Amino acid sequence: MSALRLLPLLALGAAVAVAASGFGTRIALWDYRTAFAILRWGANAGLAVAALAAIASFVPRARAGNGRRLVLAAAIGVGAAALPLYWLHVARSVPPINDITTDLANPPTFVAILPLRAQAPVPAAYAGEATARAQRDGYPDLEPTVIADAPPAAFARALAAARAMDWTIVATDDAAGRIEATTTTPWFGFTDDIVIRVAADPGGSRVDVRSVSRVGTSDLGANARRIRDYTAALAR
């Protein structure tokens, strides 16, 4: 039964792997593919250790003298797997897309950010009708924002709202009504890009937003949430 003494250490190793998956990506120790592999390993290892600890707790001979150790191993193992399992749940509940916009017919385009995306696996050009169809199904609430201001005032308001989001403003062009910005995701530090377009509208001005990831396939709903947060700030 001495092997049971290793279970808390194995569970701790799984938790460290989950934490390192994001930290290592942020400091460029590995790319996102390696990070996802480490994350899966950590989650699977955590669940395996928790399962072994749970099984051992039902065996009197194994449980004798190891009760607290088994509880600790199970708790750490489940904790290590909790965040990856939550992300898996989110991934299954949202469309597997990473290019989101409030104008599916004519999405805002990047200009100043194009050189920054030159090496990005996800192209800067809009992904097309399949992505638009998936967005209509998954995020039917995303719409342009119409505000009762002339374009110059609306542009200033849109820029103020963008700055309030704590994004990095890359470029502004008030003549074209375009604002470009970047932001990073909390865990892996992935860079996402945002472009805002302000145009004249019969009701005053129309503000459209597009938020796009640079890597991956599914954004776990991050770009849609970002657009919702921005349009809510703009409305305020």
Q: Which amino acid is at 69?
A: R
Confidence band for 5, pLDDT divided at 50, 70 and 90: confident
pLDDT of residue 40: 95
pLDDT band of 2, cuts 50, 70, 90: low
Separation of alpha carbons 19 and 22, rounded Å: 6
Percent of the chain with pLDDT over 70: 99
Give the three-state DSSP class for 214. coil
State how far the Cα of 131 lies from the Cα of 98, in Å rounded to an integer.
9
Q: What predicted TM-score, i.e. pTM, was given to this entire model? A: 0.88
- 54 HSE (CA, 13 A, CB side): 11
Question: What pLDDT score was predicted for residue 120?
Answer: 93
Q: Give the sign of the dihedral formed by CA 154, CA 156, CA 162, CA 168.
A: positive
Q: What is the pLDDT at residue 4?
A: 80
CA atoms within 13 A on the CB side of 193: 26
Q: What is the pLDDT, as a whole number, of residue 67? A: 85
The DSSP-derived string for 142-172 is ---EEESS-HHHHHHHHHHHHHHTT-EEEEE
Q: Is the dihedral of CA 218, 219, 224, 227 positive or negative?
A: negative
Whether 3 shows a pLDDT value over 80: the answer reads no
Provide the pLDDT for residue 51. Answer: 95
Q: Vertex 176, ends 174 and 177: CA angle to 5°?
A: 55
For the segment 34-48, the average pLDDT, to the nearest whole number, is 95
Number of helical H runs and strand E runs in the chain: 7, 6
User: Using an 8 Å Cβ cutoff, are 226 and 136 in contact?
Assistant: no
CA distances from 4 to 8, 10, 32, 42, 77 (A): 8, 10, 34, 19, 14
Give yes or no for a contact between 208 and 197, defined as CB atoms under 8 angstroms apart: yes
Residue 1 pLDDT > 60: no
Q: 148-192, pLDDT tens digit by residue? A: 999 999 999 999 999 999 899 999 999 999 999 999 998 999 999
**Per residue in 47-106, pLDDT tens?**
999 999 999 988 888 778 788 899 999 999 999 999 999 999 999 999 999 999 999 999
Mean pLDDT (the chain) is 94
In the 3-class helix/strand/coil scheme, how is 73-139 assigned residue by residue? HHHHHHHHHHHHHHHHHHHHHCCCCCEEECCCCCCCCCCCCHHHHCCCCCCCCCCCHHHHHHHHHHC
Return the structure tokens found at 172.
């502004």
